[in-house]
Amino acid sequence: MKIGILGGTGRMGQGLARGYAAVGHEVFLGSRSPQRAADIASELAGGISGGSLSEAAEFGELVVLAVPFGDAAEIVEAVQDSLAEKIVIDITNPFGAVPPGQVAGIENNSRAAASARWVAAYKTTFWKTLDGGRGHDGQPLDVFVCSLDAEAKAVVMELITATGFRAVDCGGFENARTLDLMVPLMIELDGRHQTDARSSWKFLG
């Protein structure tokens, strides 16, 4: 599959790119600085190229939104024509920018490209765990997934599983509100217990 990553030069973007390329996907890193994205891509594994944000949105059959939440909706709006009918994985964490208990980050971002097929994932996945998706005990870490589109959710869950994680179906966007709120606590616990951005939530179901 062709995967475009908006914010592909970042910690999450590069980690996801490596994981997707390792299982045979073609990845394109999108950046505000196309040259920087091309340079980073050439240093990563084969199967990864880089350029502008609009090129990444156009390239991907599936597109990952991996930019800071505060900039996400504006970026999505700018490339919305390229996202029509495509699956978009929203990994952005709003960190209080969205009033708690009202809407999830994905409810906000998805309004900027309503014809895309939105899936929230990787919210509670620290960037340092993207190298294989294993915890301290060697077991697969959980990636929680929310979407209103069952088919798109299934595609993303398969992608997550292929890269070493366990994908956990969390229903629709209403549960993404809860995931958004789990993130600040995870970061706080990670610091308190000095787990070096390698901790994660686990559903013991």
Asked if residue 118 binds ligand NAP (CB under 6 A), the reply is no
Q: Which stretch binds ligand NAP (CB under 6 A): 27-35, 112-120, 146-154, 161-169?
A: 27-35
- Binding ligand NAP by CB under 6 A: which of 1, 47, 54, 68? 68
Asked if residue 52 binds ligand NAP (CB under 6 A), the reply is no
Please state, in angstroms and rounded to a whole number, the distance separating the CA atoms of residues 135 and 124.
13
Nearest Cα residue to 177 out of 112, 102, 113, 126: 102
Asked if residue 140 binds ligand NAP (CB under 6 A), the reply is no
Phi first, then psi, for residue 8 (nearest 5°) are -70, -15
- Site of tokens 């994932």: 121
Residues binding ligand NAP: number (CB under 6 A): 24
Which CB, 2 or 36, lies closer to ligand NAP? Answer: 36
Phi first, then psi, for residue 26 (nearest 5°) are -95, 125
Please state, in angstroms and rounded to a whole number, the distance separating the CA atoms of residues 163 and 169.
16
Asked if residue 48 binds ligand NAP (CB under 6 A), the reply is no
Local structure of 116: helix, strand or coil: coil
Helices (H), the chain: 11-22, 34-43, 53-59, 69-78, 80-83, 105-110, 150-162, 173-192
Asked if residue 126 binds ligand NAP (CB under 6 A), the reply is yes
- Binding ligand NAP by CB under 6 A: which of 3, 4, 5, 9? 9
Interface residues for ligand NAP in 72-101 (CB under 6 A)?
A: 75, 91-93
- Binding ligand NAP by CB under 6 A: which of 3, 4, 5, 7? 7
Asked if residue 71 binds ligand NAP (CB under 6 A), the reply is yes
Phi first, then psi, for residue 16 (nearest 5°) are -65, -40
Please state, in angstroms and rounded to a whole number, the distance separating the CA atoms of residues 23 and 82.
25
Which CB, 126 or 152, lies closer to ligand NAP? Answer: 126
Compute the least distance from the CB of residue 56 to ligand NAP, in Å.
Answer: 10
Please state, in angstroms and rounded to a whole number, the distance separating the CA atoms of residues 44 and 199.
25
Q: Which residues bind ligand NAP (CB under 6 A)?
A: 7, 9-13, 31-33, 36, 66-69, 71, 75, 91-93, 122-123, 125-127
